Amino acid sequence: MACPPEAYRQRRARLAAGLRRPMVLLSGNAPARDYAANPYPFLASSTYLYFGGPPIENAALVIEPGSDGDEGCELFRQAREPDDLVWLGNVPSDERLAGAAGLGAHRVATTDRLASRPAAGAACCICPPFPEALRWALEAGLQQADNDELLLVVDMRLCKDDHELEAMRRAADVGVEAQLAAMRATQPGRREADVAAALTEVLVAHECTPSFTPIITTAGEVLHATGYSSVLKPGQLVLVDAGAETPTGYTSDMTRTWPVSGEWSDVQRHLYDTVWRAQAEAIAACVPGRRFRDIHDLAAKVICEGLIEAELLRGDPAELTQRYAHTLFFCHGLGHLIGLDVHDMEDFGDLAGYAPGRTRRPEFGNKFLRLDRDLEPGMCVTIEPGVYLNPAIWARDDLVGPLADVVNRPKVDALLKERFGGIRIEETVCILQHGGPEILTETLPNDPDAVAVLAGAA
């Protein structure tokens, strides 16, 4: 558990004050691979964890309206059969689970009694997307929590308290160590898989899981590239986007890009510097009250400036940004919420990422921005500008045609031909009350010289 019992009790009491009907939070279960006895690793549902649910499968936390966080709350856990004890070992006692969650010891019951407890139809639930949990919610007559109910949760999870921040720092530290191992494992002739192995080893040694399937690729322009089969060749860039999830469920997310050989080409270095500058300006803008979409647009403008200097675009930076010319090179969003999920609360759609009344802009690139809120102290967000030469974009007339007058196509084509790939730098930051943010990933170098030296040292 990431927090002291009293913190969980207080969170439940605060939620209960806003509830009009009981809320059931389900822990979920590990989904099966091809057959039931071979599950993926279990990762408990984030909202359930936030309110003090212990990380055990097929459990449920019930919170009644007006509860003080103890009275009116109940934890339902699966009964363990005698044969299960032989195969799976002992489980923590009810007393221990209740104690860690800040519940009275008598508030733990077995899940077979859950269905009879909340009057059918009178309770709502937040349920992870696994068949067993969904079926269970259905059988118990639970309804999906409505948007008002989800917003109560969003309001609480949006800004991290000190306990959560400690857990976020821990997740960041493990991620940083893993990224450093990845840099040091880079060497011409080795493969992406060798880099992935070095990174994964660090995560596992810290009892962490990857917070998402690590992106480790020489094809950085493919934003969610999978597989690690390419050989690392001199002249190429490696992009590593990875993070840790701690046993308490908190996550980190960070990206670095470095040259396989430890040496930057002129154009690689120039575009790295562009991304780095966009990163620095965006981070400096991460202060309370600032609208995240404006910071995205600020980073886009800095990138346009760099693309003009590199003679890939021509024109006025502000005008190019307004025409979204940068989206040909920087097509994703500047960042997202992060916490108990890497894209924190993305299971609620845009309810968390977008402030009430705001919606996604429809244009290519803009529509991928996952966050448009005014920043508040305690919010943790990623800042991850990038520049990519992606053939899938340059093959599309609908995107390139309207911007043909400002694009230096021969130079673009030359970089596509040499498979430039992509560059991204990503930090996780926490907004502070005063001044710039705390950079949770600060100990991981992003200076192009330092990054190159680490990679070249292998």
Smallest gap from Cβ 362 to a second copy, in A, equals 12
Residue 38 found at the interface with a second copy (CB under 8 A): yes
Residue 350 found at the interface with a second copy (CB under 8 A): no
Residue 207 found at the interface with a second copy (CB under 8 A): yes
For a second copy, the closer of residues 397 and 447 by Cβ is 397
Residue 200 found at the interface with a second copy (CB under 8 A): yes
SS3 108: strand
- Could you tell me the CA-to-CA distances from 51 to 7, 65, 75, 427 in Å, in that order? 9, 14, 11, 27
Smallest gap from Cβ 43 to a second copy, in A, equals 6
SS3 74: strand
Residue 405 found at the interface with a second copy (CB under 8 A): no
Whole-angstrom distance, CA of residue 209 vs CA of residue 332: 25
Whole-angstrom distance, CA of residue 443 vs CA of residue 458: 20
Q: Which of 341, 384, 426, 427 binds a second copy (CB under 8 A)?
A: 341
CA 187 to chain centre: 28
For a second copy, the closer of residues 289 and 362 by Cβ is 362
Residues 209-248 contacting a second copy, CB under 8 A: 212-213, 219, 222-229, 247
Smallest gap from Cβ 401 to a second copy, in A, equals 14
Residue 60 found at the interface with a second copy (CB under 8 A): no
Closest CA to 14 of 118, 130, 157: 157
Whole-angstrom distance, CA of residue 45 vs CA of residue 30: 11
Q: Which of 5, 31, 99, 104 binds a second copy (CB under 8 A)?
A: 31
For a second copy, the closer of residues 175 and 317 by Cβ is 175
Q: Using only C-alpha atoms, what is the Rg of the chain? A: 24
For a second copy, the closer of residues 212 and 453 by Cβ is 212
78 in Cβ contact with 132 (< 8 Å): no
For a second copy, the closer of residues 195 and 452 by Cβ is 195
Smallest gap from Cβ 205 to a second copy, in A, equals 4
Q: Which stretch binds a second copy (CB under 8 A): 9-17, 40-48, 274-282, 374-382?
A: 40-48
Residue 46 found at the interface with a second copy (CB under 8 A): yes
Whole-angstrom distance, CA of residue 387 vs CA of residue 278: 10
Q: How many residues bind a second copy (CB under 8 A)?
A: 66
Residues 76-95 contacting a second copy, CB under 8 A: 82-83, 85-90
Give the tokens for residue 363. 């244009």
Q: Which of 198, 312, 338, 431 binds a second copy (CB under 8 A)?
A: 198
State the virtual CA torsion across 412, 414, 420, 423 in degrees, nearest 10: -30
The length of the chain is 458
Closest CA to 98 of 23, 166, 9: 9
Contacts 24+ apart (CB under 8 A), 277-285: 277/302, 277/306, 278/302, 278/303, 278/306, 278/385, 279/383, 279/384, 279/385, 279/425, 279/427, 279/446, 282/334, 282/383, 282/385, 283/383, 283/427, 283/429, 283/436, 283/437, 283/439, 284/436
Smallest gap from Cβ 217 to a second copy, in A, equals 9
Smallest gap from Cβ 72 to a second copy, in A, equals 26
Whole-angstrom distance, CA of residue 247 vs CA of residue 338: 16
Q: Which of 24, 312, 393, 454 binds a second copy (CB under 8 A)?
A: 393
Binding mask of the shown chain, residues 118 to 147, with x at each position contacting a second copy by CB under 8 A: ----------xxxx--x-------------
Residue 40 found at the interface with a second copy (CB under 8 A): yes
Q: Which stretch binds a second copy (CB under 8 A): 137-145, 197-205, 233-241, 292-300?
A: 197-205
Residue 433 found at the interface with a second copy (CB under 8 A): no
Whole-angstrom distance, CA of residue 237 vs CA of residue 387: 12
Contacts with a second copy, residue ranges (CB under 8 A): 31-43, 45-46, 82-83, 85-90, 128-131, 134, 193-194, 196-198, 200-207, 212-213, 219, 222-229, 247, 331, 341-343, 346-347, 364, 390-393, 396, 398
